[in-house]
A and B are shown apart, each in its own frame.
Chain A
Amino acid sequence: MPYTIAETPDGYSSPGFFATQYDKVIGLARKNSIWPLPFATSCCGIEFMATMGSHYDLGRFGSERLSFSPRQADLLMVMGTIAKKMGPIVHQIYEQMAEPRWVIAVGACAASGGIFDSYSVLQGVDRVIPVDVYVPGCPPRPEQIIDGFMKIQELVGNEPLRRRYSTEYRELLAKYGIK
């Protein structure tokens, strides 16, 4: 039985060639080689370290190489509480990432402020940057973080190539003040 790491998309195949849609092949390549930027602020960061460890191993999904520089990253993983003082910095990091870029908000604090309903905490990181997947939990178990990551992989695999040039996307970015 041959061992498959990833499933082939639908297409016409014959000895010597395989024809399918451009979107699907690029989606397949991108989703199995996401380079995450772990933006770990607090307790969820320690659960992320456990996810990267050998017990739960995020590396088998293709993201073995963490990038701490936003210029070289695809996925911004915001883990932990974002305070108002940190908001502009998250915004700056997001602006420095190149298209296509995705954002996953891990933990209750990044998704909606969590248990800290106070004057100094941003009630959810989606007030400063657009977010694709939210992972609830305080902190979420590594299995939950991996589930969120797999949903990002679905989004990456099915994304049409023209999405980043569309008007809806430009309006979304304009709403956050990102050029």
Chain B
Amino acid sequence: MDINDPHITIRPEDIDKQYTTLNLGPTHPATHGIFQNILTMDGEIIIDAEQTIGYIHRAFEKIAEHKPYYQVKPLTDRMNYCSSPINNIGWDMTVEKLLGIKSNKRIDYMRIIVMELARITDHLVCNSVIGVDSGALTGFTYVFQEREAIYEIYEEMCGARLTTNLGRIGGFERDFTPAAIEKIKALIKRLPGKLREFEKLLMRNRIFMDRTIGVGGISAERALNYGFTGPNLRAAGVDYDVRMMNPYCSYEDFNFTIPIGTQGDTYDRFCVRQEELWQSLKLVEDALNNLPEGDYHMDVPDIYLPPKEDVYDKMEALIYHFKIVMGEINVPIGEVYHAVEGGNGELGFYLVSDGGRTPYRLHFRRPSFIYYQAFPEMIKGAVLSDAILTMSSMNVIAGELDA
């Protein structure tokens, strides 16, 4: 450990004032993901925090400038890797908006089922990890069993468990197989019982409530000023949900409520996420029961890959396949911004195209990056264990933070 290490700063004034500097460093069991907080503490109370991020900066935006539109998708899954289908479908919708093509109802409903399943997995991880950080490891092991059930559904749809690369620009690569529909129905039957078990463990638990009520609170005005979106903002009392405000993908056909909290503290964030889980489950059930007939892809041969049997037999299909994957497609010059409601809030894609093979500029508006700035303000005056719980309840995912 070198005292001249630039990552550690000990200010001269701290030595006289008897403040301690604690390095809640990049590798720490409680930080989920790698980011560093250097806390200035007076005994056990936190006075100030200095943050360093960028430990997993992978230069997505620069790489995306060199990849054709079809090949940018695997990059998008690795941002918020707990709910990758939402990122994938967000990218598909952005490119469809740029090209000006409209999807049909069946594709929209299928997309809603996939996105809400992804939201369920994200909130399950976040809530169980709040339990782990306050000492309750049981919830975590039970909840991961449900995640395995959802992973099996993803495997039926696209073959992968976590980083799914699901769907295509123009729809889906295959229709939902009967096995996938069976598994979704089994999940809808099974999940409510398990969720109630998980809630009974934590939600009205005296110890959990004492540890989380009043901890890490933020008011609605400060939250808006800091650019919060998603469950963190809704816990502070503002009902901004991109699905209701700028409905995309036929969300306007569905009836769901947006839970909001009052104080913006950790308990409110936990409860808002828990209630959103129930709402997502209801959305999946409604979409599955009302799934309309139709094609699982749009009729856009310029951008949607032809079926594999044709690629092996017919010449035009082979040429189209090659052109689409290598990026020789006609894309209009223009710019577009599209936002979807990710697990953490408004996930935005700002795409500038100059008519070439690859995006000219692609910028991701990542919610974790924007709301993590408020962390020092939220923990001022709290004790160290409260800071750990606040950090895990904010659901900061390192892949999305650094991109």
Direct contact of A and B (CB under 8 A): yes
Partner-B contacts on A (CB < 8 A): 39, 41-43, 46-47, 49-50, 53-55, 68, 80-81, 83, 85-86, 89, 92-93, 115-121, 138-139, 141
B27 shortest CB reach to chain A, Å: 6
Bitwise interface map of B from 316 to 353 toward A, beta carbon under 8 Å scored 1, else 0:
00000000000000000000000000000000000000
Q: Return chain B residues, CB-CB under 8 Å to A120.
A: 57-59
CA distance A54 to B125 in the complex (A): 15
In-complex Cβ contact of B55 among A47, A55, A85 (8 A): A85
B54 with A85: CB separation less than 8 A: yes
Q: Is B51's CB within 8 Å of the partner chain A?
A: no
What is the CA–CA distance of A116 and B82 in the complex, to the nearest angstrom?
Answer: 19
Give bound CA distance, A139 to B144, whole Å.
17
Flag if B162 contacts A81 (CB, 8 Å): no
Q: With A41-B34, A86-B55 given, name 7 new contacts (CB 8 A).
A: A41-B398, A46-B162, A50-B148, A89-B26, A92-B1, A116-B59, A138-B163
**In whole angstroms, how far apart are the Cα atoms of A86 and B54 in the complex?**
9
Are B57 and A85 in touch, CB under 8 angstroms?
Answer: yes
B144 touches A68 (CB 8 A): no
B81 with A43: CB separation less than 8 A:
yes
* Interface pair B144/A55, CB less than 8 Å apart: yes
Q: Which residues on the A side are within 8 Å of B57 (C-beta)? A: 83, 85, 120
Q: Are B144 and A54 in contact (CB under 8 A)?
A: yes
Q: Mark B117-142, 1 if CB is under 8 A from A, else 0.
A: 00000000100000000000000010
Chain A proximity mask over B139-164: 1 for CB below 8 Å, otherwise 0: 00100110110010000000001110
Asked, given contacts A53-B144, A53-B148, A89-B26, whether A46 binds B81 with beta carbons under 8 Å apart, the answer is yes
Interface SS, A side? loop
Inter-chain contacts of B151 with A (CB < 8 A): 50
Complex: A134 Cα to B48 Cα, angstroms: 41
21 contacts between A and B (CB under 8 A): A39-B27, A41-B34, A41-B55, A47-B162, A50-B144, A50-B151, A50-B161, A54-B145, A55-B145, A80-B56, A83-B56, A85-B54, A86-B26, A89-B25, A89-B26, A89-B27, A116-B59, A120-B59, A121-B59, A138-B163, A139-B161
Interface size, chain B (Cβ < 8 Å): 34
**B18-38 interface with A by 8 A CB criterion:** 25-29, 33-34
**Complex: how many Å from CA A50 to CA B128?**
13
Tell yes or no: B261 within 8 A of A by CB: no
> Could you tell me the distance between the alpha carbons of A117 and B59 in the complex, rounded to whole angstroms?
9
Chain B residue nearest in CB terms to A89: B26
With a CB–CB cut-off of 8 A, which chain A residues contact B54?
83, 85
Chain A residues closer than 8 Å to B1, beta-carbon distance: 92
Chain A residues near B161 (CB, 8 Å)?
A: 47, 50, 139, 141
| Residues 24-74 (chain B) with a chain A CB within 8 angstroms | 25-29, 33-34, 54-59, 62-63, 74
Of B34, B74, B398, which is in contact with the most chain A CB atoms at under 10 Å from its CB?
B34
In the bound assembly, the distance between CA atoms of A43 and B55 in angstroms comes to 14
Residues of A within 8 A of B399 (CB): 42-43
Interface contact A42-B144, CB-CB below 8 Å: no
- Check B63–A118 contact: CB distance below 8 A: yes
**A141 to B402 CA separation, bound complex (whole angstroms):** 25
